[in-house]
Chains A and B, each alone.
Chain A
């Protein structure tokens, strides 16, 4: 089959070939695009990280376990209730967040409320207070 191209079509093809982007230009473009996506994802993750547990006075207290520089949310309703009763008995204001950190022979508890924060150091194990 014979393909016949018009003069202007040939010119257009030649022009396209002459001004085609080089491999390195394409590579650089897609590298920039990939880096942009990575940077945006990282920025979003950084932003979300700081607003991961905003404290709300109307919501029930969240329980966090602090271990080795990072926090882990604890879904232990029994422990939450026990600590809430313990706080009531000590006349503490309603907690927005309770942070616990444990050591082999003692534990630390930070009681965060709308009125401020109270930090406790308690000898023994947490199970002794909330069996």
Chain B
């Protein structure tokens, strides 16, 4: 190919350059990441294999084991809902069984997932859970809202897994599957 430096050649090059830059911006954009995580149900399980210091401190009782299974629904309109089944095992061997639900909103900015709560509900699923809520409903709410209301760097591991990290090096991996509820409403 001969370089003529003609107007046509230069215009074509400029067009290709604009396309390439647009592609870079799109590949690296929050918008693209948002499209890939929105409208999905992200599930996870979390377990603390030692005494949970924060929970023990706030609930004024040694929490030996903390187990939770959760579903985080990130809707395309920016609304978020976290539904959790939580089991807190106290040192006495009693396990409090709770169901927690937090509604709020989500936003993706500069690669950070920002969750903000607007409502919170907690229900006991056994007697120990009922007693725990009766004694420590507010501290428990404080823990959950503190965990929810955060901005965390988001890394897409692949189409089905996202990794959320915190400054304290904690990691939180969530996996997705097709949300049957969302699928039904889209039909």
A97 to B: closest C-beta gap in Å: 7
Contact: A121 with B161, CB < 8 Å?
A: no
Any B CB within 8 A of the CB of A28: yes
Q: What are the residues of chain A within 8 A of B43 when measuring CB–CB?
A: 116-117
Contact: A122 with B50, CB < 8 Å?
A: yes
Contact: A21 with B5, CB < 8 Å?
A: yes
A residues near B (Cβ < 8 Å) are 21, 25-26, 28-29, 32-33, 35-36, 39-40, 42-43, 46-47, 50, 53-55, 66-67, 69, 71, 97, 99, 101-103, 106, 108, 110, 112, 116-124
Contact: A118 with B47, CB < 8 Å?
A: yes
Range for the number of chain B residues in contact with chain A? 35 or more
- Given A36-B16, A39-B21, CB of A99 within 8 Å of CB of B173: yes
Contact: A55 with B161, CB < 8 Å?
A: yes
Nearest 7 CB-CB pairs, A to B?
A123-B50, A39-B20, A21-B5, A110-B173, A117-B173, A46-B27, A119-B46
Measured CA separation A120–B173 after assembly (Å): 10
Q: Which of A29, A39, A123 contacts B24 (CB 8 A)?
A: A39
- Given A29-B9, A101-B169, CB of A110 within 8 Å of CB of B50: no
B107 to A: closest C-beta gap in Å: 20
9 A–B contacts, CB within 8 A, in A order: A29-B10, A32-B10, A36-B17, A39-B21, A43-B23, A50-B156, A66-B171, A118-B44, A123-B50
Contact: B5 with A29, CB < 8 Å?
A: yes
